[in-house]
Amino acid sequence: MRDRQPNSRLLAVRCRLANNRQKLADCAIGFGKDAMGGRGGRLFVATDSSDDDPVNPKPGPLRHEVIQDEPLWITFQHDMVITLKDQLVMNSYKTIDGRGASVHVTGSGCIIIHQMSNIIIHGIHIHDCKPSGDGMVKMLPMRPSITISDNYMTHHNKVMLLGHSDTYVQDKDMQVTVAFNHFGEGLVQRMPRGRHGYFHVVNNDYTRWEMYAVGGSAAPTTYCEGNRFLAGDGSCSKEVTKREEAPESEWRNWNWKSEGDLMLNGAYFRQSGSAATSTYARASSLSAHPSHLVGSITLAAGVLNCKKGSRC
């Protein structure tokens, strides 16, 4: 287990106690730290990996539980591969907790969070999603505070889209933390792409993106801090950033800042807007560690190898 911050070892132990799964809700960081998930709700154990009827799912599979109105903490009876027939659309106040089983979600569309709040997804594999949307996880939130952390992502095109649309100005108050993730081989773009809002991209490890790493449109405030950006060998993929749907005369006023990032193999970050620290106060969610520690910080990113009855 890696030391991420002075209290990380204590925090990690507290977060993974097998005798109280719902303590996981105490362990979030960044802007999404207050997300409750299904805390205080009924514990549901998924017993069936099928997804036979996406419109009227039977009790037992994951899909039936994520659409319920009540808070639920969802675990899994055994290892399973859930092959979706359609996008898995989630309701508010849900936790998907994969600890203790090897759970793979694949198939059509993967996971959609649309106008919902208080959702925790932890310890599952999401992969080989057939096209039905823009990303492995697409978030169009009702509540504007989100944390995406400790993921291991590889081999996908449009990785992460945050925000409803360029014209949906209600997202101007959205605050997103993207922290401690490993963005690995075979990723093309959107790590993340943010619309409107405030984005703190902190202590992530980026490895050889194919188009760009951090993008945005509709004038988001983007604060990249303490990341490691390793560009690929091709001359067309050295730039970390990409502004979408706007000419340079417009986006040069967007507030995008790189501070303490490590640029390798010719990677570069095109800054714009204000350089004043005060400008990025609403886009700062936690203290960054030096970029030379990113390798150790993200060493255990992704699903942990957890077994029932033991600490993972």
Active site positions, annotated: 190
| Order of all β-strands in the sheet with 145-149 | 145-149, 175-179, 198-202, 221-225, 256-259
The terminus-to-terminus CA distance of the chain in angstroms comes to: 9
Sorted by sequence, the CB contacts under 8 Å of residue 3 that are 6+ apart come out as 9, 296
Q: Using CA atoms, how far apart are residues 36 and 71, in angstroms rounded to an integer?
A: 9
Q: DSSP strand E in 27-184: where?
A: 42-46, 72-76, 80-84, 88-89, 94-97, 103-108, 111-114, 119-122, 125-130, 137-140, 145-149, 152-153, 156-158, 160-162, 175-179, 182-183
Q: Using CA atoms, how far apart are residues 248 and 188, in angstroms rounded to an integer?
A: 22
Are the CB atoms for 182 and 204 separated by under 8 Å? yes
Q: Using CA atoms, how far apart are residues 273 and 291, in angstroms rounded to an integer?
A: 23
Sorted by sequence, the CB contacts under 8 Å of residue 254 that are 6+ apart come out as 216, 219, 220, 221, 222, 243, 246, 272, 273
Per DSSP, what are the bridge partners of residue 112? 89, 138
Q: Residue 229: which H helix or E strand, with range?
A: strand 228-230
